[in-house]
Protein backbone atom coordinates (compact mmCIF):
# COMPACT_ATOMS: atom_id res chain seq x y z
CA UNK A 1 0.00 0.00 0.00
CA UNK A 2 1.28 3.48 -0.88
CA UNK A 3 1.98 5.85 2.00
CA UNK A 4 0.10 9.05 1.12
CA UNK A 5 2.43 11.14 3.31
CA UNK A 6 5.33 10.12 1.10
CA UNK A 7 3.56 10.79 -2.20
CA UNK A 8 1.96 14.17 -1.47
CA UNK A 9 3.99 17.28 -2.32
CA UNK A 10 6.25 18.46 0.49
CA UNK A 11 5.47 22.16 -0.12
CA UNK A 12 2.51 23.79 -1.86
CA UNK A 13 1.71 27.43 -2.58
CA UNK A 14 -1.99 27.91 -3.26
CA UNK A 15 -2.90 31.34 -4.70
CA UNK A 16 -0.42 32.98 -2.33
CA UNK A 17 0.03 36.73 -2.16
CA UNK A 18 2.16 38.69 0.26
CA UNK A 19 2.29 42.43 0.78
CA UNK A 20 3.33 44.88 3.46
CA UNK A 21 1.06 47.72 4.69
CA UNK A 22 3.50 50.41 3.57
CA UNK A 23 3.27 49.39 -0.09
CA UNK A 24 0.38 49.18 -2.52
CA UNK A 25 2.28 46.72 -4.71
CA UNK A 26 2.35 43.09 -3.50
CA UNK A 27 5.75 41.45 -3.17
CA UNK A 28 4.23 38.07 -4.12
CA UNK A 29 1.10 37.86 -6.27
CA UNK A 30 -1.17 34.82 -6.77
CA UNK A 31 1.68 32.32 -6.56
CA UNK A 32 0.89 28.67 -7.26
CA UNK A 33 3.75 26.21 -6.90
CA UNK A 34 4.31 22.60 -5.85
CA UNK A 35 7.59 21.20 -4.57
CA UNK A 36 7.85 17.43 -4.82
CA UNK A 37 9.77 15.29 -2.37
CA UNK A 38 13.36 14.70 -3.36
CA UNK A 39 13.67 17.54 -5.85
CA UNK A 40 15.80 20.66 -5.77
CA UNK A 41 13.65 23.56 -6.88
CA UNK A 42 15.57 26.72 -7.76
CA UNK A 43 13.98 30.16 -7.44
CA UNK A 44 15.84 32.26 -10.00
CA UNK A 45 15.46 35.99 -10.49
CA UNK A 46 16.81 39.48 -10.11
CA UNK A 47 17.00 41.29 -6.78
CA UNK A 48 13.55 42.38 -5.62
CA UNK A 49 11.61 39.80 -7.62
CA UNK A 50 10.27 38.07 -4.49
CA UNK A 51 12.35 34.90 -4.39
CA UNK A 52 13.67 35.32 -0.82
CA UNK A 53 10.20 36.34 0.36
CA UNK A 54 8.86 33.13 -1.19
CA UNK A 55 11.47 31.15 0.74
CA UNK A 56 10.60 32.87 4.03
CA UNK A 57 6.92 32.07 3.56
CA UNK A 58 7.84 28.38 3.76
CA UNK A 59 9.36 28.53 7.26
CA UNK A 60 6.84 31.09 8.48
CA UNK A 61 9.24 33.95 8.85
CA UNK A 62 6.46 35.61 6.86
CA UNK A 63 2.76 34.71 6.74
CA UNK A 64 0.87 34.94 3.46
CA UNK A 65 -1.48 37.91 3.15
CA UNK A 66 -3.85 35.65 1.21
CA UNK A 67 -3.84 32.06 0.02
CA UNK A 68 -2.13 29.17 1.79
CA UNK A 69 1.38 27.75 2.09
CA UNK A 70 1.32 24.06 2.98
CA UNK A 71 4.28 22.11 4.40
CA UNK A 72 3.73 18.35 4.64
CA UNK A 73 0.07 18.97 3.82
CA UNK A 74 -0.47 21.43 6.70
CA UNK A 75 -0.85 25.19 6.43
CA UNK A 76 2.02 27.15 7.93
CA UNK A 77 -0.65 29.06 9.89
CA UNK A 78 -1.51 25.81 11.66
CA UNK A 79 2.08 24.83 12.41
CA UNK A 80 3.74 25.83 15.64
CA UNK A 81 6.51 28.10 14.28
CA UNK A 82 9.27 26.45 16.33
CA UNK A 83 8.16 22.93 15.40
CA UNK A 84 7.96 23.94 11.73
CA UNK A 85 11.45 25.41 11.70
CA UNK A 86 12.90 22.31 13.32
CA UNK A 87 11.53 20.37 10.33
CA UNK A 88 13.47 22.67 8.02
CA UNK A 89 17.19 23.28 7.51
CA UNK A 90 17.98 26.89 6.63
CA UNK A 91 21.23 27.96 4.96
CA UNK A 92 22.23 31.53 4.13
CA UNK A 93 25.42 33.22 2.92
CA UNK A 94 28.40 32.56 5.19
CA UNK A 95 26.32 29.92 6.95
CA UNK A 96 24.73 32.38 9.40
CA UNK A 97 26.87 30.97 12.20
CA UNK A 98 26.93 32.22 15.79
CA UNK A 99 30.38 33.81 16.11
CA UNK A 100 30.86 33.05 19.82
CA UNK A 101 29.92 29.35 19.49
CA UNK A 102 32.45 26.73 18.48
CA UNK A 103 31.85 24.87 15.23
CA UNK A 104 30.69 21.82 17.20
CA UNK A 105 28.20 23.91 19.17
CA UNK A 106 26.92 25.62 16.02
CA UNK A 107 26.29 22.28 14.32
CA UNK A 108 24.73 20.72 17.42
CA UNK A 109 22.46 23.66 18.22
CA UNK A 110 19.15 22.36 16.87
CA UNK A 111 19.60 18.84 18.31
CA UNK A 112 20.42 20.46 21.67
CA UNK A 113 17.28 22.58 21.50
CA UNK A 114 15.34 19.43 20.63
CA UNK A 115 16.52 17.76 23.84
CA UNK A 116 19.09 15.31 22.50
CA UNK A 117 21.59 14.03 25.07
CA UNK A 118 25.22 15.14 24.86
CA UNK A 119 26.54 11.82 23.56
CA UNK A 120 24.02 11.70 20.74
CA UNK A 121 24.75 15.33 19.81
CA UNK A 122 28.52 14.69 19.77
CA UNK A 123 28.02 11.70 17.50
CA UNK A 124 25.82 13.68 15.12
CA UNK A 125 28.29 16.58 15.01
CA UNK A 126 31.13 14.19 14.20
CA UNK A 127 29.08 12.49 11.47
CA UNK A 128 28.07 15.75 9.81
CA UNK A 129 31.47 17.42 9.88
CA UNK A 130 32.90 14.35 8.17
CA UNK A 131 30.00 14.40 5.69
CA UNK A 132 30.84 17.97 4.59
CA UNK A 133 34.57 17.31 4.48
CA UNK A 134 35.76 18.94 7.70
CA UNK A 135 38.06 16.90 9.94
CA UNK A 136 36.58 16.77 13.44
CA UNK A 137 39.89 16.99 15.27
CA UNK A 138 40.83 20.13 13.32
CA UNK A 139 37.54 22.01 13.20
CA UNK A 140 35.15 21.05 16.00
CA UNK A 141 36.62 23.39 18.61
CA UNK A 142 37.41 26.29 16.30
CA UNK A 143 35.29 29.42 15.96
CA UNK A 144 33.73 30.73 12.74
CA UNK A 145 36.24 33.61 12.49
CA UNK A 146 39.03 31.02 12.23
CA UNK A 147 37.55 29.42 9.10
CA UNK A 148 37.56 30.44 5.45
CA UNK A 149 34.33 31.44 3.73
CA UNK A 150 34.05 28.05 2.07
CA UNK A 151 34.61 26.25 5.37
CA UNK A 152 31.97 28.37 7.11
CA UNK A 153 29.52 27.52 4.34
CA UNK A 154 30.21 23.81 4.86
CA UNK A 155 29.46 24.26 8.55
CA UNK A 156 26.23 26.04 7.63
CA UNK A 157 25.15 23.07 5.53
CA UNK A 158 26.11 20.66 8.33
CA UNK A 159 24.06 22.64 10.84
CA UNK A 160 21.07 22.68 8.50
CA UNK A 161 21.24 18.87 8.27
CA UNK A 162 21.77 18.32 12.00
CA UNK A 163 18.26 17.24 13.01
CA UNK A 164 17.69 15.38 9.70
CA UNK A 165 15.09 17.85 8.38
CA UNK A 166 12.66 16.90 5.64
CA UNK A 167 13.35 20.14 3.76
CA UNK A 168 16.32 22.44 3.13
CA UNK A 169 15.92 26.14 2.33
CA UNK A 170 19.01 27.81 0.88
CA UNK A 171 19.16 31.57 0.31
CA UNK A 172 22.05 32.32 -2.08
CA UNK A 173 24.26 30.02 0.00
CA UNK A 174 27.29 30.20 -2.30
CA UNK A 175 26.97 33.80 -3.47
CA UNK A 176 29.75 35.25 -1.30
CA UNK A 177 32.39 32.71 -2.33
CA UNK A 178 35.11 32.99 -4.94
CA UNK A 179 34.29 31.23 -8.25
CA UNK A 180 36.46 28.13 -7.68
CA UNK A 181 35.18 27.53 -4.14
CA UNK A 182 31.62 28.19 -5.28
CA UNK A 183 31.83 25.65 -8.10
CA UNK A 184 33.38 23.06 -5.77
CA UNK A 185 30.69 23.47 -3.10
CA UNK A 186 27.90 23.48 -5.68
CA UNK A 187 29.13 20.13 -6.96
CA UNK A 188 29.42 18.74 -3.44
CA UNK A 189 25.97 20.00 -2.46
CA UNK A 190 24.37 18.43 -5.54
CA UNK A 191 25.92 15.07 -4.68
CA UNK A 192 24.95 15.40 -1.02
CA UNK A 193 21.31 16.24 -1.80
CA UNK A 194 21.03 13.21 -4.09
CA UNK A 195 22.76 10.88 -1.65
CA UNK A 196 20.63 11.96 1.31
CA UNK A 197 17.46 12.22 -0.84
CA UNK A 198 16.74 15.68 0.52
CA UNK A 199 14.16 18.10 -0.80
CA UNK A 200 15.58 21.59 -1.28
CA UNK A 201 14.42 25.05 -2.35
CA UNK A 202 17.35 27.22 -3.40
CA UNK A 203 17.33 30.95 -4.14
CA UNK A 204 19.86 32.38 -6.59
CA UNK A 205 20.34 35.06 -9.22
CA UNK A 206 23.06 32.95 -10.91
CA UNK A 207 21.70 31.04 -13.91
CA UNK A 208 24.75 28.76 -13.97
CA UNK A 209 24.01 27.72 -10.40
CA UNK A 210 20.36 27.18 -11.25
CA UNK A 211 21.18 24.94 -14.21
CA UNK A 212 23.81 23.03 -12.22
CA UNK A 213 21.74 22.34 -9.10
CA UNK A 214 18.06 22.48 -10.00
CA UNK A 215 15.71 19.62 -10.78
CA UNK A 216 13.39 22.44 -11.85
CA UNK A 217 13.89 26.17 -12.20
CA UNK A 218 11.18 28.68 -11.30
CA UNK A 219 12.03 31.99 -12.97
CA UNK A 220 10.50 34.86 -11.01
CA UNK A 221 9.70 38.42 -12.01
CA UNK A 222 7.71 41.02 -10.06
CA UNK A 223 6.43 38.52 -7.51
CA UNK A 224 5.27 35.91 -9.99
CA UNK A 225 6.66 32.78 -11.61
CA UNK A 226 6.93 33.51 -15.32
CA UNK A 227 8.55 30.19 -16.28
CA UNK A 228 8.80 26.80 -14.55
CA UNK A 229 11.05 24.34 -16.36
CA UNK A 230 13.64 21.60 -16.03
CA UNK A 231 17.20 22.75 -16.76
CA UNK A 232 17.00 21.34 -20.27
CA UNK A 233 13.62 22.95 -20.81
CA UNK A 234 14.97 26.25 -19.51
CA UNK A 235 17.88 26.11 -21.96
CA UNK A 236 15.45 25.55 -24.82
CA UNK A 237 12.87 28.12 -23.72
CA UNK A 238 11.91 31.06 -25.95
CA UNK A 239 10.78 33.11 -22.96
CA UNK A 240 12.55 36.49 -23.27
CA UNK A 241 13.67 36.57 -19.62
CA UNK A 242 15.08 33.05 -19.86
CA UNK A 243 16.88 34.01 -23.07
CA UNK A 244 18.30 37.11 -21.36
CA UNK A 245 19.79 34.92 -18.62
CA UNK A 246 21.17 32.40 -21.08
CA UNK A 247 22.82 35.15 -23.12
CA UNK A 248 24.98 36.00 -20.07
CA UNK A 249 27.01 32.88 -20.75
CA UNK A 250 30.35 33.61 -22.34
CA UNK A 251 30.51 32.84 -26.01
Tens digits of per-residue pLDDT, 93-144? Answer: 766 899 999 999 999 998 998 899 999 999 999 999 999 999 999 999 999 9
CB 233 within 8 A of CB 36: no
Evaluate the CA torsion angle 248, 221, 31, 239 in order and state its sign. negative
Percent of the chain predicted with pLDDT > 90: 73
pTM check: above 0.85: yes
At 42-86, the pLDDT tens digits run 999 999 999 999 999 999 999 999 999 999 999 999 999 999 998
Residue of 13, 14, 15, 9 lying closest to 36 (CA atoms)? 9
Domain architecture of the chain: domains with CATH: 39-60+80-245 (3.40.50.300)
Instruction: Please give the Cα distance from 101 to 68 (Å, whole number).
Output: 37
Q: How many other CB atoms sit within 10 Å of the CB of residue 85?
A: 17
Amino acid sequence: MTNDSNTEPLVQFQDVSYSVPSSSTPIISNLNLTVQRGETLVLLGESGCGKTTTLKLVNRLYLATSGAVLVEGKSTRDWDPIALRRHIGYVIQEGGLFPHFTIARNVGLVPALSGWDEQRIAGRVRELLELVGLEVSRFAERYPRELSGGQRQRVGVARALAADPSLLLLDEPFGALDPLTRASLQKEFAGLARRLEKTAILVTHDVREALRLGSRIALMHAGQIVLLETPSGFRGSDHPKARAYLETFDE
